[in-house]
A and B are shown apart, each in its own frame.
Chain A
Amino acid sequence: MTVSHTLPEAPAKPADAVLRPHAEDAFAAELAALAAQDDRPRPERWRLSPWAVSLYLLGGTLPDGTVISPKYVGPRRIVEVAVTTLATDRALLLLGVPGTAKTWVSEHLAAAVSGDSTLLVQGTAGTPEEAIRYGWNYAQLLAHGPSRAALVPSPVMRAMSEGLTARVEELTRIPADVQDSLITTLSEKTLPIPELGEEVQAVRGFNLIATANDRDRGVNELSSALRRRFNTVVLPLPATPEAEVDIVSRRVDQLGRSLGLPVEADGMSEIRRVVTVFRELRGGSTADGRTKLKSPSGTLSTAEAISVVTNGLALATHFGDGVLRPADVAAGVLGAVVRDPAADRVVWQEYVETVVRERDGWKDFYRACREVSA
């Protein structure tokens, strides 16, 4: 982890050449407009007041008519708690199943609060302690011995010394001993460097946003000492079927176009069906709220629904008549639901026999399901 940090005011490449610009660059105009009109008190080294940060995330209109686009569509409460947490000296932990915009929210929070979303540590099973504390430039170290010049600071260390927001992605994938090196940073707000007999003390404005996946298997559970340093916010799955169908069809459309797949208007009914199946199984009851259901062990996130539909679309295009049909999605749905061959299969069959079979207009889907699960 070396420092190849590009300063925002000196971009090496024009912004439109980049495949995906940082949040603070993509929405620079909105941030500037907010900063200009924000007259509320700002915590030290914050670019905006907490109120303006939540407006930036949730969207709205400024007094002068500037429209702020919504970055996060979801409960207002969640954004408010997240922003308020950053304003206190507690770290923020965003939890949620894959595909609930954790990283997206964390990036935009950092961009709005500190104007810099790039102080990022990506958590992996192989993330070393150096990525969270500091490393050494060994050429320097050998030539001149230990000194600040030979030290390579981690993003967290830079955020501490400059009073910015650091981000840790996938915190629970980081090995437990490496995770725990965050404890001192978060509780004492200091990072000792024993080799030099020095320490780096966090200046005001420093805080940390971590994201973690709460349904992934094989994660390294946070120690309770570390957990206690965080305020936890769980990002929920889309609240209404309409919102979810909308997200899925939009993403499928984007993906389909890049894969050269056409999207039929008829496909909407299958998308609606997949979303309904996913929501019902995930939520443990039918959409009309009349029948309870067992939930399978898989997450059945919106992201998975997207991949099921995309997959079905590919099947329909290359092997079918180009129209998305129940048979094209049934196998995908089965694969997403039955993760554990024993327990999930019962859940699925019960669902097929008690819900799908009875539902009007689902007969073809029922047949397709029986065919693939036989």
Chain B
Amino acid sequence: MTTSPAVAERAAAERAATAAAVRGPLLLGVRHHGPGSARGVRAALDAAAPGVVLIEGPPEADALVALAGHESMRPPVALLAHAVDDPGQAAFWPLAAFSPEWVAIRWALGHGVPVRFIDLPAAHSLAMAAQEKAADAGEEEAGPADEAAGGEGTHEAPDVERTDGPAAEGLRVDPIAVLAEAAGYDDPERWWEDAVEHRGRAEDPLAPFAEVAEAMTALRERYGDGGHRRDLVREAHMRLRLRAASKEFGEFADGGGVAVVCGAWHVPALASKAAVAADKALLKGVPKVKAELTWVPWTHRRLARTSGYGAGIDSPGWYGHLFEAPDRPVERWLTKVAGLLRQEDRTVSSAHVIEAVRLAEALAVMRGRPLAGLTETVDAARAVMCEGSDVPLALITDRLIVGDALGEVPDDAPAVPLQRDLTRRQRALRLKPEALERDLDLDLRKENDAARSTLLHRLALLGIGWGEPTAGRANTGTFRESWRLCWEPELRVRVAEAGIWGTTVLAAATARAESAAVSATALVEVTGLAEKCLLAALPDALPVVMRALADRAALDADVGHLAQALPALARYLRYGDVRGTDTAALGEVARALAERVCVGLPPACAGLDADGAEAMRGHVDAVHTAIGLLPPAGDGEDSGDGQDAGGGEGGLPGRWAAVLTKLAGRESVPGVIRGRAARLLLDGGRLADGEAARLMGLALSPGTPPADAAAWIGGFVGGTAGGGMLLVHDEHLLALVDTWLTGIPAAAFPDVLPLLRRTFSAYEPGVRRTLGEVVRRGPGGGARPAVESTVPGFAPGIDAKRADAVVPLLTLLLGRETPAPPSSDSLTGETS
């Protein structure tokens, strides 16, 4: 304690010495999101105590800086700039707790020092980006990263040292990579970590920055602007702002001083002595749009490269840890890992942690690194804690290395562009947000109503529950939709939250749907999502959703799930939607799904209990209907396999018929499914008369257990609405049953009777009575006189000519290309 005044005195003296040593502005070259840089910046600012802090960022944000000190502001957050009249044109400057820029802002706010942003104003950079994009549109497609980030016009934040953006960057120089190569590292990331981030607290807090500046100067001498053309303009602007600040705040020696926190790449440019006139000339004629800025919450996942946004770091969680850990980062990190694994019920003891730390350190020594880094700790965790398996490791990557930190922004931050976009759309569609609950009926054939429906569906996808679909008065038509609308104040918060997904309703809903598709686990979830995407007219999200759907379908071993998913898709494909979405991708997926059902169904039908069989019969029916609805593939199925598939008909229907034949003939399949399959084949005209009789005889023979025989009958003629009616109208079928019935030996008859009663008693009374009458009259040959004895008002026979007159209209109604064959079998039977 006695030494403390002396220590303080010495520190003050040192600070004075450091500050005095700095001539001109203090240039702190950093790596964006580098925790080591952040720590270095804090130490340097503490040591130099400048009078103003300049930061690489859009100057429009000067007004928003105070919000960074707000108590409910929690990083990761991003500065979002967007063009006022086109919210889709936007740029982000993400900041995490361990970003040097953030540290500098907080330091300045804490010390009552003003903060200025010195980069090119967003008004210019947005306009320039739009210009470039328009110029590039012909030759280069927007990187997928941009779309995933959720903004149509989103471009990478000016993250200059790290140019790992889309492919076009080939021409540009990655300064870190050049330095790393010179140092003999194959991974630039690792070199920077070893050389800058992992070094201990230096004696002189300013020394590392001087070294970085020196290295960058050498690089800039060699590479010039390194292919980053826009940088020259930006640097000119930075120099102008820097000069103004220097004039205002003076030198360190005078108690003022200017500190600049910027990407290391820019340091040499800021140190150079360019003429003011030259800088101003560079800035002349730069395009401009009206831009607005605000703070938006950000997440670690979006900071990570893996989520597609090019903010540029793989491991925000690890960086955050490095920045926060007061000491022994490796030990603390592996303890965290152990804690996570324990939560997931893996046995990880303290001994494991000890061994992992030892292995990580030994690995670092062997690889010649100053400190165990992420790679070493991952290797150690895998070998010691995960038993060499990558599965728990994926968990560690997801939860810790990337992490799910979610930022917060105070309520008084300016409105997000999504809100503006929504307001604009509401106005354009004349759909006012009102707190009063009201019903809205939409006729989707009208353009405005269709757009309203699309908007409501999109908002629903974003979790903004403004409208709720209700069963309206005309819910049977596909062109009508009914909504109940109610705008509650907290929906504004929802909009702000959804702002993370994008800057326009369309972009945000697309991004949200894509993310949901990727993270969905059940097949049904994805099918539902696909339907929502179609309703909300999100064509860009559809490929991702379809891909997820195909993936889930491929991995789902339960045919039941596949069968459930198929009908919705088939319906959509067949009847389309009034919005006219392109459904080619959907058709492909649906056919693949049907294909998988065909393969998986026969084995799945074996060894089912009564309930399972009943459920499966439902699936068989649903799939049958769905396959009937599926339009044929565009590229005509290849003929080679049609023959093998049986039925002499190629394509899906042929294969499905083969599956049904297999089901109908296989002993191990429950009776109800066999009967159902036989019936479907018969209805489809794929069974010869003799064949149906043979199948029925086989199923109902005395050797078959009675329960199974009854189930077969149930499957064949029971269940669905037309089951009984069919027996009434189709004498042919009735004859089959009758033949079988009369063929039963007298001894076996009492056993069969209750089973038949069970099936036939389920028919409606009217059907039962008619059936009884037909049977009394006698089937087959005996039927003719009965028909001729007629109901009053009807002719005795059928007038074939008049019946044929109906056919063209029927053809039209059914949408068949070729004239349909005379409508039903029984009719032809009668007339011939």
Interfacial residues, chain A to chain B (CB-CB below 8 A): 50-51, 54, 77, 80-81, 83-85, 87-88, 90, 93, 95, 224, 227-228, 231-234, 284, 290-294, 342-343, 345-346, 349-350, 353-354, 357, 363, 366-367, 370
Chain A positions within 8 Å of B555 at CB level: 284, 292, 294
A87 surroundings in chain B (CB, below 8 A): 362, 366
Query: What's the nearest-Cβ distance from chain B to residue A151, in Å?
Result: 33
Residues of A within 8 A of B375 (CB): 77
List residues of chain B with CB within 8 A of the CB of A83.
366
Q: Complex Cα distance A83/B359, Å?
A: 10
Q: A88-B355, A90-B359, A292-B551 are in contact. List 16 more A-B contacts (CB 8 A).
A: A77-B379, A80-B366, A80-B367, A84-B359, A85-B359, A90-B384, A231-B384, A232-B387, A290-B547, A350-B596, A350-B599, A353-B595, A353-B598, A354-B592, A363-B640, A367-B640
Bound CA span A291–B375, Å? 31
Q: Does B169 contact A (CB under 8 A)?
A: no
Q: Could you tell me the distance in whole angstroms from the C-beta of B381 to the nearest C-beta in chain A?
A: 11
How many Å from the CB of B819 to the closest CB on chain A? 34
Chain A residues, Cβ within 8 Å of B351: 228
Report A370 CB to chain B, min CB distance, Å. 6
A81-B359, A231-B359 are known contacts. Are A95 and B388 too (CB-CB below 8 A)?
A: yes
Expressed in whole angstroms, the minimum distance between the Cβ of A140 and any Cβ of chain B is: 41
- A81 near B379 with CB under 8 A, answer yes
Q: Is the CB of A228 within 8 A of B349?
A: yes
Bound CA span A342–B389, Å: 28
B525 in the interface, Cβ–Cβ < 8 Å?
no
- Contacts A77-B379, A292-B555; is A232 near B592 (CB within 8 Å)? no
Interface positions, chain B 340-391, Cβ under 8 Å from A, are 347, 349, 351-352, 355, 358-359, 362-363, 366-367, 375, 379-380, 382-384, 386-390
Instruction: Establish whether residues B603 and A81, one from each chain, have CB atoms under 8 Å apart when the complex forms.
Output: no
* Contact yes or no, A80 B551, CB < 8 A: no
For this complex, 6 residue pairs linking A to B, each with C-beta atoms less than 8 Å apart, are: A87-B362, A228-B349, A232-B382, A232-B386, A291-B554, A346-B600
Please tell me if the beta carbons of B383 and A51 are within 8 angstroms of each other in the complex.
Answer: no
* Min C-beta distance of B182 to chain A, whole Å: 20
- Residues of A within 8 Å of B347, CB to CB, are 224
Q: A228: which B residues are within 8 A, CB to CB?
A: 349, 351-352
Report the bound CA distance from A87 to B351 in whole Å.
Answer: 18
B interface SS class: helix
Q: How far is the CB of B651 from chain A (nearest CB, A)?
A: 12
Within 8 A of A (CB), among B496-550: 547, 550
For A353, the chain B residues whose CB sits under 8 A away are: 595, 598-599
Closest chain A residue, CB of each to CB of B358:
A88
Cβ A85 vs Cβ B383 within 8 A: yes
Q: Could you say which residues of chain B place their CB within 8 Å of the CB of A80?
A: 363, 366-367, 379
Cα distance, A284 to B555, chains bound together (Å): 9
Flag if B644 contacts A370 (CB, 8 Å): yes
A124 to B641, CA, bound (A): 49
How near does chain A come to B698, taking the closest CB pair, in angstroms?
23
How far, in angstroms, from A345 to B606 measured CA to CA in the complex? 14
Chain A positions within 8 Å of B388 at CB level: 93, 95, 232-234
- With CB as the reference atom, state the residue of chain B lying closest to A50: B366
Min distance, Cβ A339 to any Cβ of chain B, angstroms: 16
**Shortest distance in angstroms between A293's beta carbon and chain B's nearest beta carbon?**
6
Partner of B603, one of A54, A77, A342: A342
- By beta carbon, the residue of chain B nearest A352 is B599
The CA of A279 and the CA of B265, in the complex, are separated in Å by 44
For the complex of A and B, 4 pairs with smallest distance between CB atoms: A232-B388, A234-B388, A292-B554, A231-B383
CA distance A84 to B376 in the complex (A): 11
Q: Is the beta-carbon distance between B641 and A357 smaller than 8 angstroms?
A: yes
Judged by a CB distance under 8 angstroms, whether B276 is at the interface is no
A294 adjacent to B554 (CB under 8 Å): yes
Question: Within the assembled complex, what's the spacing in Å between the Cα atoms of A95 and B390?
Answer: 13
Question: Nearest chain-B residue to A40 (Cβ)?
Answer: B366
Give residues 578-620 of B contacting A (CB, 8 Å).
592, 595-596, 598-600, 603
In the complex, what residue of chain A is closest to B363 when comparing beta carbons?
A: A84
Number of interface residues of B (CB under 8 A): 39
- B547: chain A residues at CB < 8 Å are 290
Q: A292 vs B351: C-alpha distance in the bound complex, in angstroms?
A: 40
Shortest Cβ gap from A235 to chain B (Å): 9
Given A354-B592, A363-B640, A367-B640, does the pair A231, B355 have CB atoms closer than 8 Å?
yes
Residues of A within 8 A of B352 (CB): 228
In whole Å, how far is B298's beta carbon from the nearest beta carbon of chain A?
30
**A84 vs B365: C-alpha distance in the bound complex, in angstroms?**
9
Chain B nearest CB, measured from A12 CB (Å): 38
- Nearest residue (CB) in A for B555 is A292
A-chain residues with CB within 8 Å of residue B383 when the two chains form the complex: 81, 85, 231-233
Question: A residues within 8 A CB of B355?
Answer: 88, 90, 231
Complex-state Cα separation, A164 to B75, whole angstroms: 54
Contact A84/B644 with A234-B388, A291-B554 known, Cβ cut-off 8 Å: no
Judge whether B557 is part of the interface by a CB distance below 8 angstroms. Answer: yes
A291 lies within 8 A of B550 (CB) = yes
> In the assembled complex, how far is the CB of residue A34 from the closest CB belonging to chain B, in whole angstroms?
15
Q: How distant is B83 from chain A, measured CB to nearest CB, in Å?
A: 37
Chain A proximity of B556: nearest CB distance (Å): 9
Shortest distance in angstroms between A21's beta carbon and chain B's nearest beta carbon?
A: 29
B362 CB contact (under 8 Å) in A84, A232, A293, A346:
A84
Q: Which of A232, A363, A370 has the most CB of B within 10 A?
A: A232
In the assembled complex, the Cα of A188 lies from the Cα of B194 at a distance in Å of 37
| Interchain CB contact (< 8 A) of A370 among B358, B596, B641 | B641
Chain A residues with CB under 8 A of B641: 357, 366, 370
Q: Chain B 618-657 against A: per-residue CB contact (8 Å), 1 yes, 0 no? A: 0000000000000000000010110010000000000000
Best-buried of A290, A291, A293 by chain B (most CB within 10 Å): A291
How far, in angstroms, from A233 to B363 measured CA to CA in the complex? 14
Can you name the residue of chain B whose Cβ is closest to the Cβ of A357? Answer: B641
Measured CB to CB, the closest approach of chain B to A56, in angstroms, equals 14
- Of all chain A residues, which has the CB nearest B601? A346
Given A81-B379, A85-B359, A232-B383, decide whether A349 and B640 contact each other with a Cβ distance below 8 A: no
Q: Whose C-beta in chain A lies nearest to the C-beta of B603?
A: A346
> Contact between B362 and A88 (Cβ–Cβ < 8 Å)?
yes
A354 B362 Cβ-Cβ under 8 A:
no
Q: Is the CB of A81 within 8 A of B554?
A: no
Binary A-proximity of B160-202 (CB < 8 A = 1, otherwise 0) = 0000000000000000000000000000000000000000000
Distance A292 CA – B556 CA, assembled complex (angstroms)? 10
Q: In the complex the two chains form, what is the Cα distance from A366 to B598 in whole Å?
A: 17
A290 to chain B, nearest CB (A): 8
A81-B592 contact in complex given A232-B388, A291-B554, C-beta closer than 8 Å: no
CB-defined contacts of B362 to chain A, threshold 8 Å: 84, 87-88
A280 CB, min distance to chain B CBs, angstroms: 12
Question: Which chain A residues lie closer than 8 Å to B382 at the CB level?
Answer: 81, 232
User: Closest CB-CB distance, A243 to chain B, in whole Å?
Assistant: 19
The chain B residue sitting closest to A222, CB to CB, is B387
Instruction: Evaluate whether A81 and B363 lie within 8 angstroms (CB atoms) in the complex, with A233-B388, A350-B599, A353-B595 already known.
Output: yes
Q: Is the CB of B640 within 8 A of A51?
A: no
Give complex CA distance A85, B359 in Å: 7
Contact A293 B554 (CB under 8 A): yes
With a 10 A CB-CB cut-off, give which of A84, A342, A346, A350 has the most chain B CB atoms.
A84
Given A51-B366, A294-B554: A350 and B600 interface contact (C-beta under 8 Å) = yes
Nearest-Cβ distance from residue A57 to partner chain B, whole angstroms: 13
Q: How far is the CB of B517 from chain A (nearest CB, A)?
A: 14
In the complex, A367→B382 CA distance in Å?
Answer: 44
Instruction: State A251–B669 Cα separation when bound (angstroms).
Output: 46
A85 to B596, CA, bound (A): 47
Q: How far is the CA of A228 from the CA of B547 in the complex (A)?
A: 41
Q: Report the minimal beta-carbon distance from A363 to chain B, rounded to whole angstroms.
A: 7
Q: From residue B655, how far is it (CB to closest CB) to chain A in Å?
A: 8
Query: What are the residues of chain B within 8 A of A95 when measuring CB–CB?
Result: 387-388
B359 x A88 contact (CB < 8 A): yes
Which of A81, A85, A93, A232 has the most CB atoms of chain B within a 10 A radius of its CB? A81
Interface residue from A291, A293, A349 paired with B599 (Cβ < 8 Å): A349
